[in-house]
Structure 1
Amino acid sequence: MFSAPNPMYSNKDYLNCIDYAKIHYGGKHVRDAPYLIMEHPFCNTDTYLIYFHAKDEDMQLKSPYFHRNYAQQFIYEIQQSCKFNAILSEYPGYGIYQNVNAHDSIVEQDALQLFDHIQDKYKLKNNQIIVFGRSIGTGPAFYINSLRQCRAVIALSSFTSIRDIIKEKTFEWVANLIPTKFDNLQRAQSAKSPMLLIHGAEDDIVNKQHTEILFANLPNKVKAQSVKRIRPDMTHNDYIFEHDIIAPIQLFFPDLSIQQRFRY
């Protein structure tokens, strides 16, 4: 589930914008995980968003497919309407993060230590950090939310587990052969921070029911502060950016909205 696309960028493409979080395991430094720093292009802000991108992309600027935004462009577009600096996490085997096997437990380990690294580096309080996961990136996002407190978590096109997706696409006995990876349903039940869950009603890759189930299983206290948005006509990759992505985020974080351009 974590086969990486061919690298679409190198260190020289981002000059001084890439930094590294030191990852420790068993008390030992085992690797350095790269991340991209995107300060807000025209606003001063002390809010940071940590973004975990989708499966078939990396931190590069644009997809070769004109109708899809890749991680940096995707976040840059949101920054035009929302005040936050951004940290884009990279996965093992993706982009410049090579020579490390891509595995869900490795991704989760990186994500949690990146969260702690960013909080320490920028001296941030919990309410100054937002975590955002898209598609496969909702795995590390839900994992962080089960262990750390932050201002909120945005989950776009989330799933209950990888096994559940496979079960919908093939025979149940085949899915039962797959170890449970990114068990978002279990993590949802331990969620510590409010969530904004966005899903396309016409998503044919991850059915909207996944988000419905995840929302229903949030702890009552968290659910009371959370919002679920099922967007009509939106699919996994095709959406009206301003209405399906930006407007729900602006409504959820009104103090971070640069201008209220849209009604939802």
Structure 2
Amino acid sequence: MDLGLRDKVAVITGGSIGIGLAVAEGLAAERAGVVLAARDAARVEGEAARIADRFGVKTLGVSCDVATADGCAALVKAVADRFGGADILINNAGTGSNETVMDAPDDKWQAYWDLHVMAAVRLARGFAPQMKTRGGGVILHNASICAVQPLWYEPIYNTTKSALMMFSKCLATELVGDNIRVNCINPGLILTPDWKKTATQLTAETGGDWQGYLQSVADEHAPIRRFATPEELAHFFVFLCSDKATYSIGSTYFVDGGMLKTI
């Protein structure tokens, strides 16, 4: 099936690893050019080169910190200089947290707000005008099931991802007249390197069965009783970027293996 993505330019933040990298590969497989943004210069440039070699598409690796205004501006400029603009923006950069409301300091709240919310705000302001001049575009926000079904140990993550979901809705209403489709995706349990690292740390003193630990998490939270691969989630991102999803606007989609307990 031709998804109409050939020669589109897609920007993926947090694009050098995990979900972001899987989405980049999925878009490249559809012949889209991809821009990977991440802080680690060697890794992001290396992954961009690997994708270019594997899929034969134009790529760019940009080392920047999108949690800062300067980092967002640098990314927007790099894409304009190399490609003349972007057609697709995937706001994916983010990370989990671990704290209580009573103990977490203000600067931790601010850091997550900048990463999960302000990065999306700043990049929308930067890339939407480019998309408008190119006839339209797509903006997707990678939030989390925790935006509506919070886990007790990460109140900052829960709160900022919920704010990202609302921002996505507001942005969709504002940009629909410019033929820019905005949607949000709330994943459940996705087997990212962060999950593997956490599980390894938590089981280091009890035998190191990190796979067993992750299975217990899946058994507790997901009726499907397993984690999804980043590639499984990426398929959904690619579909929403495509011309097969042109009536999907301003929505939040759950890809969670049945984890959501409400209707």
What band does the TM-score fall into relative to the shorter chain? 0.3 to 0.5
TM-score, normalised with respect to structure 2? 0.41
Structure with greater strand share of residues: 1
Structure with greater helix share of residues: 2
TM-score, normalised with respect to structure 1? 0.41
